[in-house]
């Protein structure tokens, strides 16, 4: 079978970035290499554990009336397990690429190097939207806990600033969520070294709070709350999996920091697998506790654990959880906004986006312009969309990125088996094939509105690529 026209040449939409040149380059693009193994793992955990436990677990179990999503009840546990299996299969593929191509950009860079420029472009273009939307979703989740906390101390804010239109009486904008997105953009612009210290400390606090929630909540579980286990049927659990999927792949955004790792080829694969394994154990236990403490119909979709503990008389612990959720979920905002900016930075460096967008600050060595632009976009989404609609906006592009990475790892293993790999995906090609099948399967369960938004974004990307990116690509020059 012949290669597509232009493959490996200086022209054509399937031209590829040579892997040996990516590996051999000593120029780090202005980014600072400061991250060790456990800082990378903390960033991965920071991206995985957050809104999935503190916001989406309750939202999916209870249902989201504003977005028309039915409650799946205790079967939210199945939703996380299904999403986790698909994520784990893809995680092995990411780990292999992270050791082989330790450059910024993650799935965008991997797809560009193996499957061609047009594939890399669309994955990068999608990730810019998906990561930015994830930041918005998480900010909305934190906003719910913030409002709960204010209610605990008797402070009532004006209704217009408490949520997006349609989420409650008089709601006009989720002001706190929007401001939070801008705050994270500011922190990221302070430099990766100080930002990573903040991230590691916050992850430690978050994991501690999740463990307290699990251990204390276990004593208040009522087995009767597990009936019915799947009120929306197995199909509802799968739909829930498509919604919570972004909560189990923070390692994807973490892998965009490869050029800021001290030893990316050895540390990135380990950090990817460590962060996913730790997070999935905590997710499963937390879901069991949440749906066991309260009937799923009574779970608050925005501050589930706080209201659950308040319902059993543990008001003080409920307040601590709310504070911990606000502090801990900040790490998810950090991980995904960092991921979005590094993808945009890589696309700008490759000429697919205007170079001025990816220009790094000479002192702090971060892509400041890209960070503020994407932080502002996240703020707009967080302010005007309900959490369910914003969450579904995130998933289709990520699932497609998983498909591309899993396909690419198979193609590259058989085309260039002798490349020096610090980690190899086990069970080749079965394991990445599982990732492909699961991801495509989950895509089919997404809502029609999600497909419509994705189609619009896809067409916009197509226009930009052929009007600008194809001609200005570094490979074209």
Answer for the pair 88, 82: CB distance below 8 angstroms, yes or no: no
Q: What letter does residue 64 receive in the DSSP assignment?
A: B
Nearest of 470, 330, 404 to residue 97 by alpha carbon = 404
Which residues have C-beta within 8 Å of that of residue 219, sequence separation ≥ 6?
none
The owner of tokens 């198979």 is 410
Nearest of 30, 132, 50 to residue 365 by alpha carbon = 30
pLDDT for position 429: 93
Q: Is 436 helix (H, G, I), strand (E, B) or coil?
A: helix
Peptide bond into 228 cis (omega under 30): yes
Low-confidence ranges of the chain (pLDDT < 50): 1-10, 24-29
pLDDT for position 215: 93
Which residues have C-beta within 8 Å of that of residue 260, sequence separation ≥ 6?
31, 32, 33, 34, 35, 104, 192
d(CA 325, CA 53): 9
pLDDT for position 29: 47
Q: Is 80 helix (H, G, I), strand (E, B) or coil?
A: helix
pLDDT for position 3: 41
Answer for the pair 366, 192: CB distance below 8 angstroms, yes or no: yes
Task: Give pLDDT tens digits for 45-96.
Answer: 887 886 667 767 888 898 866 556 678 999 999 999 888 887 888 889 998 9
Nearest of 338, 268, 366 to residue 28 by alpha carbon = 366
pLDDT for position 303: 73
Give CA separation, 2 vs 7, 61, 275, 411, in Å: 10, 49, 40, 14
pLDDT for position 466: 94
d(CA 35, CA 55): 29
Beta-carbon count within 10 A of 440 CB: 14
pLDDT for position 23: 54
Q: Give all domains of the chain, ordered by start, each with its CATH number.
A: 38-472 (1.20.1740.10)
Which residues have C-beta within 8 Å of that of residue 33, sequence separation ≥ 6?
259, 260, 261, 262
- Residue 473: exposed, middle, or buried by beta-carbon count in 10 A (0-12, 13-18, 19+)? buried
pLDDT for position 26: 40
pLDDT for position 33: 77
- Residue 35, beta-bridge partner list: 261
Q: What is the pTM of this model?
A: 0.79
């Amino acid at each position: 079978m012949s290669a597509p026209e232009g493959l490996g040449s200086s022209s054509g939409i399937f031209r590829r970035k040579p892997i040996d040149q990516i590996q051999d380059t000593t120029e780090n693009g202005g980014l600072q290499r400061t991250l060790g193994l456990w800082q990378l793992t903390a960033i991965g955990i920071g991206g995985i554990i957050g809104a999935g436990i503190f916001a989406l677990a309750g939202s999916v179990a209870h249902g989201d009336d504003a977005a028309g999503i039915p409650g799946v009840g205790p079967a939210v546990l199945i939703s996380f397990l299904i999403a986790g299996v698909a994520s784990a299969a893809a995680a092995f593929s990411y780990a292999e690429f992270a050791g082989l191509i330790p450059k910024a950009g993650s799935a965008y860079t991997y797809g560009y190097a193996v499957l061609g420029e047009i594939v890399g472009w669309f994955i990068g273009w999608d990730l810019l939207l998906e990561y930015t939307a994830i930041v918005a979703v998480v900010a909305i989740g934190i906003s719910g806990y913030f409002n709960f906390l204010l209610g605990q101390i008797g402070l009532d804010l004006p209704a217009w600033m408490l949520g997006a239109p349609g989420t409650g009486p008089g709601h006009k904008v989720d002001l706190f969520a929007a401001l939070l997105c801008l705050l994270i953009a500011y922190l990221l612009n302070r430099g990766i070294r100080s930002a990573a210290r903040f991230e590691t400390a916050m992850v430690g606090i978050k994991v501690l709070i999740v463990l307290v929630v699990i251990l204390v909540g276990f004593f208040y579980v009522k087995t009767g709350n597990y009936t019915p286990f799947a009120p929306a049927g197995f199909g509802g659990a799968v739909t829930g999996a498509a919604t919570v999927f972004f909560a189990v792949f923070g390692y994807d955004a973490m892998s965009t920091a490869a050029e800021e790792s001290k030893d990316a080829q050895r540390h990135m694969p380990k950090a990817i697998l460590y962060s996913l394994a730790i997070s999935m154990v905590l997710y499963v236990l937390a879901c069991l506790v949440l749906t066991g403490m309260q009937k799923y119909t009574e779970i608050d979709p925005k501050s589930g654990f706080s209201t659950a503990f308040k319902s059993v008389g543990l008001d003080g612990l409920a307040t601590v959880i709310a504070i911990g959720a606000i502090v801990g979920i900040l790490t998810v905002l950090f991980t995904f906004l960092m991921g979005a900016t590094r993808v945009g930075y890589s696309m700008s460096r490759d000429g697919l986006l205007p170079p001025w967008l990816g220009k790094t600050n000479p002192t702090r060595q971060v892509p400041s312009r890209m960070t503020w632009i994407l932080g502002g976009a996240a703020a707009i989404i967080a302010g005007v969309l309900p959490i369910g609609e914003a969450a579904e906006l995130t998933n289709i592009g990520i699932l497609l990125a998983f498909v591309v990475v899993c396909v690419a790892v198979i193609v590259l293993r058989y085309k260039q088996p002798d490349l020096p790999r610090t980690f190899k995906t086990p069970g080749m090609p079965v394991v990445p094939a599982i990732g492909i099948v699961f991801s495509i399967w989950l895509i089919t369960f997404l809502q029609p509105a999600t497909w419509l938004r994705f189609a619009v974004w896809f067409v916009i990307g197509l226009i930009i690529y052929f009007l600008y990116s194809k001609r200005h690509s570094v490979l074209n020059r």
